[in-house]
Amino acid sequence: MNKEKIASRTLVIFVVLLMGMVAVPSATSLPTGVAGVKDSGCNCHGAVVSDSVVPILEGLPETYNYSEVYTLTIGFTGGPADPSNINQGGFNLWVSDGEIAPSDASVQSWNPNEVSHTDAGNDQTMWSVDWIAPSNDRNVEFILHTNSVNGNAGSPEGGTSGDEWNRLSIQVASPTVILEQANPYTVLTTLIVVSFVLLLMVLTFIFYQNNPDSFDWENFAPWVAGWLTTTDHKRVGTLYFLAGFFFLGIGGIMAILIRIQLMEPGNDFLTQDQYNQFFTLHGTTMIFLAAMPLINGAANWMVPLQIGAPDLAFPRLNAMSFWLQPVGAILIFTGVFSGTGADTGWTGYAPYIVSETAHSGTTMWVAGQILLVASSTLTGINFLTTIAVMRAEGMGWMQMPLFTWSILIANLMLFLSIPAFGVGLIQVYLDRVIGTAFYDAASGGDPLLWSHLFWYFGHPEVYVVIVPAFGIISEVIATSARRSVFGYRSMVYAMAGIGVVSFIVYGHHMFTSGMDPTLRFVTMLTTMLVAVPTGIKIFNWLMTMNGGSLVYRTHTLWALGFLVTFTLGGISGMFFPSMAMDLHFHESYFVVAHFHYVLVGGTVFGLFCGVYYWFPKMSGKMLDERLGVLHFLTAFITYNGVFWPMHRLGVWGMARRHHTYFISVDEVRGVDGEVITEAVIGALPPEAAGWNMFITVSAILFFFSNFLLIINVIISLIRGKDAPADPWGGWSFEWMTESPPPTPSFGRFEHGVWHDLPTLKDANEHIANEPSKLGEWFNRLMVADKEEVEN
């Protein structure tokens, strides 16, 4: 074994250890929370664990009776506590189900399921509380921490030392024997770990498949190290795809857990607390850890190929943008493993996000987001530079493929808006960590400032994830219809228009925020305006098919499906700028329906379309068309089943981010006027329950339908047909190289210069030779060519 192999092996182990270091502190505290009160007993003194302290919890039955009230006696013996001390002790009691309530002033309640002593109660060693048993079947767990205090807390030595604590855990069985219901955290954590292990197994298998003869550590370690250290745009693109699909799955699992909770009114599958964390992480995961990496994956793969560049402008920076993502992801998920994940919603509105009621995991969520912001900034620099400077000979701005255009515009938007978010996050992080007061309303901080910084980024961000899908659809529809895209120039201007408008529409997220009505009115006008460029794009796509010869492939189906869902999402979007209606829709399921139509029906369908379109290029293997069509049909139908009914639920009054909902019942009277059914005030009419069940079933089906894509990819990698260089008959440069493309993607570097880079011809020479007025002006603005100056 040579030195290099030892080095790479050491590094692999090192990396695993470091990742472990990040994950472990939170995992070890299971199930009692990250560095919370429960971790250190009573945290008011620097106490140490000691066996000499014996916690006592009396008054508990073997099995409880439904809703009965039990009076519990809490106490401890041992430790330094002594009646002559100023203080003697403290406790913290947590119960998994039912409610505990203080019975006198020596005990205070933190939550319905958590109590501890008060200042008045810290010179006692015995306390009593009431526990109301749950009204349903649960195996209840009690965790008691007691703290034995030597009472020197107020002494001049400032002594908090010498105090000791210990923990006691007791189970109480339910009246009827039940199968223990799995803790949703455990479910989620297990699923995350299982998916990760599966992912590793599949990767190992692919390695084995490539080198069946040399399947050993000596070859495996450099192979893994090769992926960990790669800076090749194609390999980094693949890593983005892997990470993106992995987190799409994780986000999907959380969506399913959320949907199971909402299946019926008043369901208690998830507690409010769990629900809050799940929807926060679902949103964050889907936007930042699934949609963005998938887009970056496609962009990494295709942009250099489409513009005829050997690689990105800054390959190592590109690797850096990727690796910040999984590290950020670990931070974002940190709290979940111990039940204290971020519970702020993906918007993380101030002042809740800096308040103490937000979970401790919120700080880590913010930290993770900061890394993602850094990653996006680096990606932006890289792609803007690459597209500006590395286009092939003959490819002017107006000869770029539309996907490249879309990535250029998306990155420009992202790049100019994300610093605002980054600064906001840093302010929140500092507020939470070192106690600055940017969003502390009690010190004069303004919660609306966060909303402004967030949405100044947040709205361009949603266009950032949809615009690349526009690019993909433009490529696919044109290629499939065997035509050049209708109105190339108006397509570009429309995208650029969306890019410009995106910065001035964000106020529509804040119509109900108490913002100045003048500002609301201005953003209402600009928001209305977004419909124009979007409409141009949709009509241009439709017109592209006109006179074409539409070849039906899987990607064609996805593109047509995209047109349907995205148009629906666009139309429902038109309801929001009308403010009198938005006052009703804001934070309702109508909003949820709208943005899922745009983000799933738009972004995700667009990306699926891109995957089917470019997979042969990326892997050199064809995908199975039958499985692809099956995937499209199942996913398209179940998808609409999930999100279409949500529009109606929103109008009825189903609020977003609510862990449950209740149904109203009208009073029913018999013939004599006696009340048969009492009226119940709920938010939703009775038929809403049925629709929610329908949505949940559709959601589960939608979730599983997407595994067809993964199965398809795996089958194709193992025994797919070899793909030709240009399987669909596209025109742009990516179809010029072999499938899969070599490294570097085009040309070779010798004596400080690139040779054999491709040149683009233009079928519209006459137009290309006459630069537009705008183009001339733009060129004059920039530094002139060296040759031009010499001539």
Would you count residue 453 as binding another protein (CB under 8 A)? yes
CB closer to another protein out of 177 and 782: 782
Is the torsion defined by CA of 369, 372, 378, 380 positive or negative? Answer: negative
Would you count residue 660 as binding another protein (CB under 8 A)? yes
Q: Which of 107, 258, 307, 599 binds another protein (CB under 8 A)?
A: 307
> For this structure, is 459 an active site residue?
yes
CB closer to another protein out of 60 and 683: 683
Q: Which of 442, 671, 676, 774 binds another protein (CB under 8 A)?
A: 442
For 79-82, which contacts have Cβ atoms below 8 Å and span 24 or more sequence positions? Answer: 79/50, 79/52, 79/53, 79/148, 79/149, 79/163, 79/164, 79/165, 80/148, 80/149, 80/150, 80/151, 80/162, 80/163, 80/164, 81/125, 81/148, 81/149, 81/150, 82/150, 82/151
- Cα 701 from Cα 622, distance rounded (Å): 26
Number of residues that bind another protein (CB under 8 A): 222
Q: Which of 486, 558, 615, 632 binds another protein (CB under 8 A)?
A: 486
CB closer to another protein out of 61 and 729: 729
Q: Which residues contact 326 (CB under 8 A, 6 or more apart)?
A: 243
Q: Which of 441, 675, 711, 718 binds another protein (CB under 8 A)?
A: 441
CB closer to another protein out of 580 and 671: 580
CB-CB contact of 117 with 80 (8 Å): no
Q: Which residues contact 214 (CB under 8 A, 6 or more apart)?
A: none
Q: What Å distances lie between residue 755 and 310, 319, 725, CA to CA? A: 10, 25, 22
Q: What Å distances lie between residue 753 and 155, 390, 743, 756, CA to CA? A: 75, 13, 16, 10
> For this structure, is 282 an active site residue?
yes
> For this structure, is 656 an active site residue?
yes
Q: Which of 584, 626, 669, 721 binds another protein (CB under 8 A)?
A: 584
Q: Is the peptide bond before 577 cis (omega within 30 degrees of 0)?
A: no
**Least Å from the CB of residue 397 to another protein:** 8
Q: Which of 48, 197, 718, 767 binds another protein (CB under 8 A)?
A: 767
**Helix (H/G/I), strand (E/B), else coil: 469:** helix
Over the range 328-353, which residues count as b (16 or more CB within 10 Å of their CB) and which as e?
Answer: bbbbbbbbbbbbbbbbbbbbbebbbb
- Residues numbered 193-232 forming contacts with another protein, rule: CB under 8 A: 222-223, 225-226, 228-232
Site string for another protein, 58-77 (x = CB under 8 A): --------------------
Q: Which of 171, 489, 718, 722 binds another protein (CB under 8 A)?
A: 489
CB closer to another protein out of 142 and 383: 383
Pairing of strands 126-132, 99-102: antiparallel
Binding span for another protein by CB under 8 A among 140-148, 507-515, 699-707, 716-724: 507-515
Q: Is 79 left (phi over 0), alpha (psi -120 to 50) or beta?
A: left
- Cα 29 from Cα 25, distance rounded (Å): 7
Q: Identify the active-site residue in 439, 463, 612, 691.
A: 463
Would you count residue 126 as binding another protein (CB under 8 A)? no
Would you count residue 763 as binding another protein (CB under 8 A)? yes
Q: Which of 27, 206, 525, 637 binds another protein (CB under 8 A)?
A: 525
Q: Identify the active-site residue in 97, 343, 461, 475.
A: 461
**Least Å from the CB of residue 12 to another protein:** 11
> For this structure, is 127 an active site residue?
no
Q: Which of 483, 496, 644, 714 binds another protein (CB under 8 A)?
A: 483
> For this structure, is 375 an active site residue?
yes
Would you count residue 523 as binding another protein (CB under 8 A)? no
> For this structure, is 474 an active site residue?
yes
- Cα 77 from Cα 53, distance rounded (Å): 6
- Residues numbered 411-440 forming contacts with another protein, rule: CB under 8 A: 415-420, 422-424, 426-427, 429-438, 440
Distance from the Cα of residue 791 to its chain's centroid: 54
Q: Identify the active-site residue in 165, 275, 346, 613.
A: 346
**Least Å from the CB of residue 117 to another protein:** 20
Which residue from 721, 715, 709 is spatially nearest to 628, judged by alpha carbons? 709
Q: Which of 84, 176, 549, 791 binds another protein (CB under 8 A)?
A: 549
Q: Identify the active-site residue in 117, 234, 537, 631.
A: 537
Q: Which of 206, 571, 675, 711 binds another protein (CB under 8 A)?
A: 571
Q: Is the peptide bond before 326 cis (omega within 30 degrees of 0)?
A: no
Would you count residue 41 as binding another protein (CB under 8 A)? no
- The DSSP string of 84-132 is TSS--EEEEEEESSSEEEESSTTEEEEETTEEEE-GGGTT-SEEEEEEE
For the chain, the distance separating the N- and C-terminal CA atoms, rounded to the nearest angstrom, is 60
CB closer to another protein out of 82 and 516: 516
Residue at token pair 């954590």: 189
**Least Å from the CB of residue 179 to another protein:** 26
CB closer to another protein out of 54 and 581: 581
Would you count residue 690 as binding another protein (CB under 8 A)? no
**Least Å from the CB of residue 662 to another protein:** 4
- Residues numbered 354-373 forming contacts with another protein, rule: CB under 8 A: 355, 357-358, 360, 363-364, 367-368, 370-371
**Helix (H/G/I), strand (E/B), else coil: 174:** coil
Q: Identify the active-site residue in 359, 452, 459, 555.
A: 459
- Cα 321 from Cα 383, distance rounded (Å): 11
Q: Identify the active-site residue in 97, 123, 164, 311.
A: 311
> For this structure, is 537 an active site residue?
yes
CB closer to another protein out of 371 and 642: 371
Would you count residue 774 as binding another protein (CB under 8 A)? no
Q: Return the HEC string of 519-539.
A: HHHHHHHHHHHHHHHHHHHHH
Binding span for another protein by CB under 8 A among 149-157, 249-257, 523-531, 598-606: 523-531
Q: Which of 30, 126, 203, 528 binds another protein (CB under 8 A)?
A: 528
Query: Which pair of structure tokens corresponds to residue 391?
Result: 């286009």
- Residues numbered 311-330 forming contacts with another protein, rule: CB under 8 A: 311, 313-317, 319-320, 322-324, 326-328, 330
CB closer to another protein out of 581 and 714: 581
Residue at token pair 């031009």: 788
CB-CB contact of 87 with 153 (8 Å): yes
Would you count residue 185 as binding another protein (CB under 8 A)? no
CB closer to another protein out of 196 and 397: 397
- Cα 307 from Cα 391, distance rounded (Å): 5
- Cα 452 from Cα 515, distance rounded (Å): 10
Q: What is the DSSP letter of 549?
A: -
Residues serving a catalytic function are 282, 311, 346, 375-376, 459, 461, 463, 474, 508-509, 534, 537, 656
